[in-house]
Chain A
Amino acid sequence: MNNQIVAMILAGGKGTRLEALTRKIAKPAVSYGGKYRIIDFPLSNCANSGIDRVGVLTQYESVVLDSYIGNGEKWGLNGVRSLTTTLHPRQTEEGLSWYKGTADAIFRNLDFLDSLKPKYVLILSGDHIYQTSYKKMLEQHIARSSDCTISVIEVDPKEASRFGILVTDESGSIVEFQEKPRNPISNLASMGVYIFTYKVLRNALVRDARKADSSHDFGKDIIPMMLKGRKKLHAYVFDGYWKDVGTIASLHEANMELLLNKHPDTVSVIKGKNAIYSEDTHSHPQYIGKKAKVKNSLINQGAIILGEVERCVISNEVVVAEGAIVKNSVLMPGVKIRANAKVDNAIVAPETTISQGEEINLDGEEVILVTNRRKR
């Protein structure tokens, strides 16, 4: 399978709705689950699928993300047949321009894909949390001689208008695609995971690039154009945990779902047979203090807990001092909660310090993001 397919991960987005969390880093580099970054998920999924040639398209605030990806070693994608590389917008004879859309990002790297001579290209989003192997999806793509296979998940019909919605016939062929429809007639949402037969994709991208009125987006332009051109598009139904963590509230929720009794898949998402790989920091083992209380929490190495934590996801190098009480919260790497401070229902951004006795969001019903720039 290795020499047939190349994965391209779209990781250039800003993720504006994550507020200050993405002020200096791209959304795929945001911390999750005490130890991980969001991009660990698509990269580990590639590794577990036997796909070892991966291009990661980065653009917005890419320094942290680029150095994190490196040569793919953290996901084992540095083997003898592997290639892992980041692909940035670049200066060419025509000048310099940013990636204008998801399709444009791939179009501008056709030379990279050409050089690898893939039969199929897997397009992934760098900011979704789910665990899978793409093997079965590729098998279906090959068996049905598809031009494009789109991974879909069934969503609550009430939520359907937030997604790109696919309408299929009884054979699974896609007959219609609606981008965030007002009145959805299906509940199959696109996960932004596509397998294309490369030849077909290449032609579509070249055609799309010539269109002045195109937004150069897979959902808005490429898929509708292929449908119009009577290409063979099929849905592949994904069954499992999948989360698009677009907002502070959904990022918080996705973290809380790792705790026990919150979601049936919980930690099996990161621990199961398709394990998620990540960076192992050179931290000491976590220490739980003499007066500490730790309930229903997920805590990474390097943390020191001397106070009380309940329903929390806690990253490496976090310190919760004596007398501090933290509940329903996500503490990102390097957060310091000083003595007798109280925090509830919050995501505390990396390297933030909560002062002694400070109270954060105690009666707040909505989840808030806390950074060092807050008013005190």
Chain B
Amino acid sequence: MLLTGIAFYIFAAVLVAAAVMVISAKNPVHSVLYLIVCFFNAAGLFVLMGAEFVAMILVIVYVGAVAVLFLFVVMMLDINFQELRQGFLQYLPIGGLIGLVLAIELLLIVGTWVIAPETSAVAAAPSPAIDAVTNTEALGRIMYTQYVYAFQASGLILLVAMIGAIVLTLRSREGVRKQSITQQVQRKREEVLAVRKVPTRGGV
């Protein structure tokens, strides 16, 4: 128990410190790297809670895909971050005010959190008891049975996303030399090869 406590505080402290660095680092590449540290520590917190599936997804999706995408964008697009940052102090009062309002709202909502007695009956756990199976297995069991409709519909959404990317970006350009393997294989020796007699000191 003590060990989990210590681990929690280490993960939490590193997470908060890295989050502060994400928004205060001068170099945007450093910001993204700190963001990756954040994700790893958040994943650690999830493992401590017993949600190892979410932890792994966080590492695979956020560190493996999203953060790398950020890095690519930061490095490939020549964005002048100094210029973006200029209005920072100017917008601080209004931004702070909105943040404060949001914080108060969140506090109010959490403060009034009452679980109605009927709720527990409604939320009859669709998955087996937590110590019977791992949560990856529990998710797998309902993903392809109870939520098969949502699962298939998500598949269609991804298909549409793929069609969309092709429709909006693919262009058939003229004058591009494409490799056509059938053409290459069908070439006959006689069509492309000619044996010539080359006279001495004459050239072809």
Q: Do A and B come from one complex?
A: no
